[in-house]
Amino acid sequence: MVQGILISYHVRHIIVLHRNSYNPECLAGWGGPVLPGLAVGGFPTLSDGTPDYKMATGIVITYLLNNDLNQTRVQGAMEWEKRYVEFMKAWTVGIDEGGSRPPFMDVAFSSERSIQDELERISEAEVSTVIISYAAMLIYIVDSKVTLGLGGILIVIISVVSSLGFFGYVGVPTTLLTVEVIPFLVLAVGVDNIFILVQTHLRNGKGETETYSDHVARTVGSASSGMPAVRTFALYAGVALLVDFLLQITAFVALMSLDEQRQAVSRNSEFYTENFLRTTLIYATNSLRGINLKLLSA
């Protein structure tokens, strides 16, 4: 009898909630409304188009914790979320000592720290992939093209560092997701373009009356394509791709011309590589010194 009364009360309360979420009787404990479209799911639609919330097959349960800009004050909440995720993982697979998920239920869960935890997990798992990707570019030697291999990988690294340094200097904040995505994005675009440039250059033979500079310019003009749309990406990614593109059509094309002249006189690529690395290190050192002096004087 008592159980039937409780069920009837809850059903009536749910019906009232669905009709008017702003009814004072239906407000949540924190004083705000619980919108049925966000709290339940899998509900059918009546003939007049009105959603039948009381026939919903899913429900969303949210636990609100105290948040704070001071990271030391949210350690308790972060620890609670960590234990919550661990418990839900064990409960959904049936290895928790306190019980397991009923077979008729389909449960999904997440927390505020879930994205950050997943990024950290992926970062640790993808370290070997990144190392292999950069190493593959370093050992990309076609006809002893050590200069092009080292130059290409340095252009990609300089592009990423330039983007981070520029926006860090002007004070534009970044996120962990941005730092995670940019190296992969620039590596994919940069290395792909470098392979296209070199392969097209090798397939287009040099004319008898054509100079080395004219040959490289003709090859680049026929092989280059427009940069992909990066409007949906962060400013960091846009600047990184811009710097990468500018370096490819200037510095890398110059390296291709030097490498072509080296092959013509049958000189060893290590000679050019040594000079290129020395010049690059001097330029990077002077640039960093100038940025540090400007930051100290600011």
Q: Is residue 45 classed as helix, strand or coil in its secondary structure?
A: strand
Which pLDDT score, from 0 to 100, does residue 222 have?
39
218 and 290, same domain (yes or no): yes
Q: What is the mean pLDDT of residues 174-178?
A: 64
Same domain, 231 and 209: yes
137 and 65 fall within a common domain: no
Query: What's the DSSP call for residue 3?
Result: H
Find, among 285, 288, 269, 241, the residue nearest to 151 by Cα.
269
Structure tokens at 73: 């004050």
Place of tokens 């340095």: 154
Residue corresponding to tokens 């992926």: 122
DSSP bridge partners of 45: 51
Tell me which residue range forms the domain holding 44.
Answer: 2-118
Asked which of 71, 87, 118 is the last residue of a domain, the reply is: 118
Residue 21 has pLDDT above 50, yes or no: yes
Place of tokens 């570019």: 137
* Cα dist from 192 to 45, 130, 149, 196, whole Å: 50, 15, 13, 6
CA neighbours within 13 Å on the CB side: how many for 92? Answer: 12
Q: Give 45 or 31, the one with higher predicted confidence.
A: 45
The confidence band for 234, taking pLDDT boundaries of 50, 70 and 90, is: very low
Q: Which of 89, 118, 147 marks a domain boundary?
A: 118
pLDDT for 139: 62
Q: What pLDDT score was predicted for residue 142?
A: 45
Do 245 and 133 belong to one domain?
yes
Residue 178 sits in the same domain as residue 211:
yes
For residues 135 and 153, what is the distance between their CA atoms, to the nearest angstrom? 9
pTM: 0.42
Contacts of 224 (CB under 8 A, 6+ apart): 193, 197, 249
Q: Tokens standing for 225?
A: 């394509």
Asked whether residue 102 falls in the same domain as residue 8, the answer is yes
Confidence tier at 219 by pLDDT (50, 70, 90): very low
Task: Give, in degrees to the nearest 5, the angle at Cα 96 between 90 and 97.
Answer: 170
Give the C-alpha separation, 294 to 221, whole Å: 39
Residue 42 region, left (φ>0) first, then alpha (ψ -120 to 50), else beta? left
DSSP string, 224-243: --PPPP-TTS-HHHHHHHHH
> Which of the given ranges, 102-111, 113-122, 203-212, 235-244, has the highest pLDDT on average?
102-111
Is pLDDT above 70 for 171?
Answer: yes
Both 104 and 146 in a single domain?
no
Domain stops at, among 103, 118, 133 = 118
| CB proximity list for 122: less than 8 A, separation 6 or greater | 180
Domain identity same for 148 and 175:
yes
Query: Does residue 225 sit in the same domain as residue 149?
Result: yes
pLDDT at 200: 61
Residue 21 sits in the same domain as residue 93: yes
In the chain, the number of structural domains is 2
- Is there a single domain that holds both residue 21 and residue 167? no
Considering the domain architecture, whether residues 86 and 196 belong to the same structural domain is answered as no
